[in-house]
Amino acid sequence: MTESSEERVESVGRVDDIPENGGLVVEVAGESIAVFGLDDGYFALTNVCPHQGGPLGDGKVEDECVYCPWHGHQFDIRTGEHGQMSQLDCQTYEVEQRGDELFVHL
């Protein structure tokens, strides 16, 4: 679903689709995105790790961070910030919940 010419809002699935302690990987508008659930809401990061392209959505989630499955770099799920190197901060996307359905703003 596209809502404006400047910002795209795309459905990415339902809240129940998000695995416990993991991410839901979706392909939206040519982007691979990982959607995560925390206690107070839903957040999305690029699924492509800024280090060497690992699949962040397959990483382990712990303490509101995701650990890339390839080399273990740590990213804050809320902000996309790398735990130690700001040059490796990753792209975030706003997630909107409407009922049980989740939408990502691109």
Interface stretch with ligand FES, choices 14-22, 31-39, 64-72, 92-100 (CB under 6 A): 64-72
Interatomic CA distance for residues 2 and 10, integer angstroms: 7
Tell me if 57 contacts ligand FES by CB under 6 A: no
Tell me if 81 contacts ligand FES by CB under 6 A: no
Would you call 56 helix, strand, or coil by DSSP? helix
Tell me if 44 contacts ligand FES by CB under 6 A: no
Tell me if 61 contacts ligand FES by CB under 6 A: no
Residue 25 CB contacts under 8 Å (≥ 6 apart), including other chains? 32, 33, 34, 35, 47, 55, 57, 58
Among 24, 26, 28, 49, binds ligand FES (CB under 6 A): 49
